[in-house]
Amino acid sequence: MAEVIRYKNYIGGQWVESRSGETFENRNPANTDDVVGIFQKSNANDVNEAVAAAKEAFNKWRLVPAPKRAELLLRIADRVVREKERLARDMTREMGKVLNETRGDVQEAIDLGYFMAGEGRRLHGVTTPSELPNKFQMCVRQPKGVAGMITPWNFPVAIPSWKMMPALVCGNTVVIKPATDTPLSVCHYVKIMEEEGIPPGVVNLVTGSGGSVGMPLMTHKDVAVISFTGSTEIGRKVSEACARDFRGCHLEMGGKNCILVMDDADIDLAVDGAVWGAFGTTGQRCTASSRMIVHKNVIKEFTDKLVARARALNVGNGLDESVEMGPAINESQMNTVLEYIEIGKKEGARLLCGGERLTGGDYDKGFFTMPTVFADVTSDMRIFQEEIFGSVTSVTVCESLEDGIDLCNNTAYGLSGSIYTRDVNNAFRAMRDIYTGLFYVNAPTIGAEVHLPFGGVKDTGNGHREAGVAGIDVFSEWKSIYVDFSGTIQRAQIDNR
């Protein structure tokens, strides 16, 4: 058995132990005999030091020309290309999703790095004519200061990159707290940044729990903006804490995403999409396709095919290339999924396949649940309304396009939606009338690309977006600048009348 590595916090350009002197262990959810690493159990003292280092570094970093900052981002992205396989393998060990998906997760960090490096030569502002003669005016982007980041476990490097790259290119400095279940990927990412020359204090990493690290970070007076991705329940706490001090706050939260299958759809294509959307990442995506809303004329064919495909999925350790679905992230998440299955049964939904923990042999070492499909699910059921975040999806009948759209919208969340149809009129009406931040036609609810804004409406988000040019809005402040070269006093709204 290889020696277990002890990872440290990264503060002010140094790898340091937590002031608490305590550590925690992280184990592979597919094989709990495999200890992925030992990490620092940090507290408010570590957060204070990290924020102080970031605050000090900000005064230099903000003055580095943005194209120069971008060159560093480019080098980091190039290096991640070379390290892709190592990062993906360690990510599968710490998080459980299959290798192809962890490779995709790392690729997202590469793509986002390249995209944001390009932004270093744009960071476009605005110029506009003045209402007065001999006067010039413009709007420029300025960095906000220290950016605090709190990230979830389901995209261990992609989501941190979505936050860190735009923050850095805009000239902010960073303190990041990764999820307790997946600190390793961020440790690797930050190590790469250090080796590629990120100046001390510009990026700081503090590992530990939400309560001990996330909380002091989101309430720290020197943190200008918090960017949080995670559950709606914790996001609400982050929002309330930031509101008290008028701190900038960007939230990306839960989802309950629907695929609407019309009776003119290519059913085999819709089933392909449903299997990938529902069981990819073991259903542990904010964009997971957890509700299938299916036209009554095709519901039998669609459901039969979906169940056959779900039953045939190869579930196991994601390091095995033949495996299609990995474990739940931890025991508690697995138990939540199993509880929701019981809730679904009690509510009167019809269990068509799955419904249990996988046991026996290597399964006993991990947290594996069966791909599960419920039919006869109605909109008043909890399994229709609540985010399960696991290998469970549900099928609900609809009578028409209008009925299907109403059912899709019948949830507190608004992240992603999709329609399968061959009728362009249906597609455009669904695009317009389903209230989500992301929408797909003839593709499942997952599959975002980094150069488009990512985020949701209703209980999924608070009006900001990640990725794309919109992603830099979170980390920059508009400054409007007026330059009067008339040599006289000119009063706006008065002297031009």
If the CB atoms of residues 66 and 205 are measured against ligand NAP, the closer one turns out to be 205
If the CB atoms of residues 93 and 309 are measured against ligand NAP, the closer one turns out to be 93
Two structure tokens written together for 276? 């990938």
Two structure tokens written together for 98? 């299959």
Shortest distance, position 72 Cβ to ligand NAP, whole Å: 26
d(CA 328, CA 268): 27
224, 247 contact by CB (below 8 A):
yes
Q: Which of 148, 201, 248, 254 binds ligand NAP (CB under 6 A)?
A: 254
Give the total of residues touching ligand NAP (CB under 6 A): 31
Shortest distance, position 188 Cβ to ligand NAP, whole Å: 17
Shortest distance, position 341 Cβ to ligand NAP, whole Å: 18
At which residue do the structure tokens 């506009």 appear?
128
- Give, as ranges, the residues between 383 and 402 that touch ligand NAP (CB under 6 A): 387, 389
Shortest distance, position 243 Cβ to ligand NAP, whole Å: 14
Number of other residues whose CB lies within 10 A of the CB of residue 125: 15
Shortest distance, position 254 Cβ to ligand NAP, whole Å: 4
Question: CA 451, 453, 456: angle at the middle one, nearest 5?
Answer: 150
Supply φ then ψ for residue 40, to 5 degrees.
Answer: -75, 130
d(CA 380, CA 108): 37
Please report whether residue 236 would count as binding ligand NAP according to CB under 6 A: no
**In this chain, which stretch among 16-24, 93-101, 207-215, 257-265 interacts with ligand NAP, using CB under 6 A?**
207-215
Please report whether residue 152 would count as binding ligand NAP according to CB under 6 A: yes
Binding mask 403-422 for ligand NAP (x = CB under 6 A): ------------x-------
- Can you say whether the dihedral through the CA atoms of 241, 166, 7, 318 is positive or negative? positive
At which residue do the structure tokens 């793509």 appear?
111
Burial of 359 (0-12, 13-18, 19+ CB in 10 A): exposed
Q: How many residues in the chain? A: 497
Please report whether residue 218 would count as binding ligand NAP according to CB under 6 A: yes
Please report whether residue 286 would count as binding ligand NAP according to CB under 6 A: yes
If the CB atoms of residues 226 and 401 are measured against ligand NAP, the closer one turns out to be 226
SS percent in the chain: helix, strand, coil, step 5: 40, 25, 35
The single residue of 170, 187, 249, 286 carrying the catalytic annotation is 286
Please report whether residue 336 would count as binding ligand NAP according to CB under 6 A: no
The H-or-E segment that residue 12 falls in is none
Helix (H, G, I), strand (E, B) or coil at 1: coil
- Supply the DSSP symbol for 486: S
Tell me, yes or no, if 286 is annotated catalytic.
yes
| Sequence-distant (≥ 6) Cβ neighbours of residue 467 within 8 angstroms | 112, 115, 162, 448, 450, 451, 452, 453, 454
Tell me, yes or no, if 249 is annotated catalytic.
no
Q: Which of 14, 137, 142, 231 binds ligand NAP (CB under 6 A)?
A: 231
User: Quick one: which of 156, 8, 176, 150 has its CA closest to 90?
Assistant: 156
Binding mask 167-206 for ligand NAP (x = CB under 6 A): ----------x-xxx-------------------------
**In this chain, which stretch among 126-134, 251-259, 264-272, 478-486 interacts with ligand NAP, using CB under 6 A?**
251-259
Positions annotated as catalytic residues are 252, 286
Chain residues in the site for ligand NAP (CB under 6 A) = 150-155, 177, 179-181, 209-211, 214-215, 218, 229-231, 234, 237, 252-255, 286, 387, 389, 415, 456, 460
